[in-house]
Amino acid sequence: MKFKKLASLFFKLESTSKRLEMIDHLSNFFQEIKDSKNYEDVDKIVYLLQGQLVSNIKQAPKIGIAEKMIIEALSVHSGIEGTKIKDILLKKGDIGVTAEIILSKKKKQKSLFDFDKNVGDKETLNISEIYQALKKIAETEGVGSHDSKLGILRSLMTRCSPLETKYLLRIITSTLRVGVSTLTIIDGLTLGFTGDKKNRPIIEYAYNIHPDLGEIAQMLAEKGIESIKDVSIEYGTPIRSMLASRVPYSEILEKVGVPCTAEYKLDGERLQIHKQGSKVQLFSRLMLDISEQYPDVCEAIRKCIRTENAILEGEVVAMDAFYEKMRPFQVLSKRRRKYDVKDISKEIPVCLFLFDLLVLEQDSLIDKPFPIRREALEKIVDEQDEIRLVKSVIIHNTEELIDFFNVARENGNEGIMAKSIKENSTYQAGNRGFHWIKLKGLEGGKLKDSIDVTLIGAFYGRGRRKGVYGTYIGAVYDPLNDKFEAFTRISSGWTDEIMETLKDEMKKHEVDRKPFEVICDDKPDQWLNPEFVIEIFGDEITRSEKFSSLGYSMRFPVFHRIRRDKGPKDSTTVEEIERLYETQ
């Protein structure tokens, strides 16, 4: 497919904030593909609509083109000085829009590079050509790589219209976000390729157990909806995690039912474990393979799981030298390194606490009730210091729930998880329902749970905090519109060590203007790409005029910890904030 056609779709999607209109644009686009039977680029189109080059379960190559190089290429291509391009960029805040403005006006002056090409006869780019070029850029290293990358970029730009260049540069800088959520894309795929919105749950379910929407879309286009019904869990491919909701403790039993199960909620890192014989893979919440970080856990799985093949879920927690006392998450975070892994494994031993079994040999258990999954899990685990089952009890009333919560906190846990044991207590991959409810606090007068926010802006510190950022703006996520809405300023709870760590981390995310996907009326000293997640506590959620778009903020927010195990879209959602405000 010609990139020009996809760029036109991007433009239409960007031009509306109405979800139904977006679905119409997407479904019409996919309907045209279906009618043409040209399915070659369907997977790539879906990835780009998601704002990425490949799915989350694959490692995308780093393109390695800085904004400075793009300005240089744009200057040569347009004949306009780099300083003037920078001025426009600072005003517009978007390298794609900057290029579109410059190239739309470029009529009189041609660059030397342009004279090497017969611009009038040039062919427009295909989507596959862009992918091939970007792969070549990513693989180009060593002496002369700058000039080689610059040459490839310039050759792409000469074959693009101003509108195409706008989106090409956004792809290269990983800022191609056109405001559509994954669920909206699924709606468009459903109507475009099947013509019946009743098929949406089939596609969404397939995506949740095989979270590569590009592959799902390619299969749908080529083989139809019946092929999607055959999608199943595969060893080596992580499924999307089931998530827990939060409600006041007095309403928990009403939601999950009586009796229910309650488990310790641990202060560690959630893992999805895929065991195939002696091969063990550990996947994070972000669906990244982090097996190399925990070689001791992999070995413990081989020793202590009494079955050849299984997919399990658990939480890895840092322990003391005697495996008696759990240590905080901050200690565990030191295990996140690529070098000296064996040494740090000895310095910080860990225990894997298992709480669910999703697949046993070739049998999927996710459609089975939770008690059946738990019973099957208990049968295959040989508990040792390094591997244990999460503490679990049956709860009959709220008093028992509170007693168990207090015991959990006394033993160093974050809180508890209440889980339904009804017939319909299946594992709902990728969903946040009321089968699982987390409880992390009972204290009166304070917010009963923590909030995960994505950092979108920062203010320079003063006095003792001079030289680092002293205050950050945290945002919550709106999955319906794929936006990050400013929620609160955080200026308390930082240690000197944390402030230095964040200062170094933020260098990777600093941008000169507000990112496209951020909604914020505040004006920080430094804007940040919404990539980095932290956990905060506060007294209460309040109505707010300062953060008027969202309408809510937090009173007395305090930093608790960095959440490297979570991506920005794992942040607390707008809907959750609204629910917490209503129930606090």
Q: Tens digits of per-residue pLDDT, 170-184? A: 888 877 777 788 899
Predicted pLDDT of residue 115? 37
Pairing mode, if any, of strands 469-478 and 483-490? antiparallel
Predicted pLDDT of residue 89? 87
Does residue 275 have an active-site annotation?
A: no
Q: What DSSP state is assigned to residue 339?
A: S
SS3 (DSSP) at 264: strand
Predicted pLDDT of residue 54? 87
Predicted pLDDT of residue 445? 45
444 pLDDT higher than 50:
no
Q: Which long-range contacts (CB under 8 A, 24 or more apart) does 301-304 make?
A: 301/273, 301/275, 301/352, 301/387, 302/275, 302/278, 303/382, 303/384, 304/381, 304/382, 304/383, 304/384, 304/386, 304/387
Predicted pLDDT of residue 126? 92
84 pLDDT higher than 70:
yes
117 pLDDT higher than 50:
no
Predicted pLDDT of residue 368? 97
Q: What number does CATH give the domain 243-439?
A: 3.30.470.30
The whole-number average pLDDT for the span 470-495 is 91
51: left (phi over 0), alpha (psi -120 to 50) or beta: left
The whole-number average pLDDT for the span 101-123 is 56
Measured distance CA(352)–CA(299) in Å, rounded = 11
Lowest mean pLDDT of 5-14, 102-111, 337-346, name the range.
Answer: 102-111
366: left (phi over 0), alpha (psi -120 to 50) or beta: alpha
Domain with CATH 3.30.470.30 in the chain: 243-439
Predicted pLDDT of residue 120? 44
Res. 116 pLDDT band, cuts 50 70 90: very low
The whole-number average pLDDT for the span 94-113 is 72
Predicted pLDDT of residue 107? 47
- First and final CA of the chain: distance in angstroms? 52
Predicted pLDDT of residue 313? 98
112 pLDDT higher than 70:
no
Predicted pLDDT of residue 47? 92
Predicted pLDDT of residue 65? 80
Pairing mode, if any, of strands 243-245 and 432-439? parallel
Q: What are the CA-CA distances from residue 315 to residues 122, 218, 283, 357, 459 (Å)?
A: 56, 34, 11, 13, 35
The mean predicted confidence, pLDDT, of the chain is 89
The whole-number average pLDDT for the span 276-282 is 97
Res. 119 pLDDT band, cuts 50 70 90: very low
Helix (H) or strand (E) holding 453: strand 451-460
Measured distance CA(325)–CA(318) in Å, rounded = 9
Q: Which two tokens stand for residue 353?
A: 């606490």
Helix (H) or strand (E) holding 459: strand 451-460
Measured distance CA(204)–CA(379) in Å, rounded = 32
The whole-number average pLDDT for the span 216-238 is 96
Domain with CATH 1.10.3260.10 in the chain: 67-172
45 pLDDT higher than 90:
yes
Res. 504 pLDDT band, cuts 50 70 90: confident
Complete DSSP assignment for 186-237: HHHHHHHHHS-GGGHHHHHHHHHHS--HHHHHHHHHHH-HHHHHT----TTS
Q: Say which residues have a Cβ less than 8 Å from residue 198's Cβ, sequence separation at least 6.
A: none
Res. 94 pLDDT band, cuts 50 70 90: confident
Measured distance CA(30)–CA(193) in Å, rounded = 6
Q: What DSSP state is assigned to residue 241?
A: P
Query: Which CATH number does the domain 451-583 belong to among 3.40.50.720, 2.40.50.140, 2.60.40.420, 3.40.50.10320?
Result: 2.40.50.140
Predicted pLDDT of residue 394? 97
Q: What DSSP state is assigned to residue 521?
A: -
**Options 44, 149, 166, 265, the catalytic residue:** 265
159 pLDDT higher than 60:
yes
Predicted pLDDT of residue 338? 65
Q: Which residue has the higher pLDDT, 429 or 286?
A: 429
The whole-number average pLDDT for the span 369-373 is 98
Res. 113 pLDDT band, cuts 50 70 90: very low
Out of 247-251, 325-329, 507-511, the most confident range is 325-329
Q: Which residue has the higher pLDDT, 61 or 93?
A: 93
- % the chain with pLDDT above 70: 94
Measured distance CA(425)–CA(210) in Å, rounded = 21
Measured distance CA(101)–CA(110) in Å, rounded = 16
The model's pTM is 0.83
- % the chain with pLDDT above 90: 57
Predicted pLDDT of residue 108? 43
Predicted pLDDT of residue 448? 65
Peptide linkage before 248 cis (omega within 30 of 0): no
Q: What DSSP state is assigned to residue 573?
A: B
Measured distance CA(435)–CA(448) in Å, rounded = 19
Out of 114-123, 512-521, 522-531, the most confident range is 522-531
Out of 296-300, 479-483, 542-546, the most confident range is 296-300
Lowest mean pLDDT of 20-24, 39-43, 381-385, 580-584, name the range.
Answer: 580-584
Domain 67-172 part of CATH 1.10.3720.10: no
Measured distance CA(150)–CA(152) in Å, rounded = 6
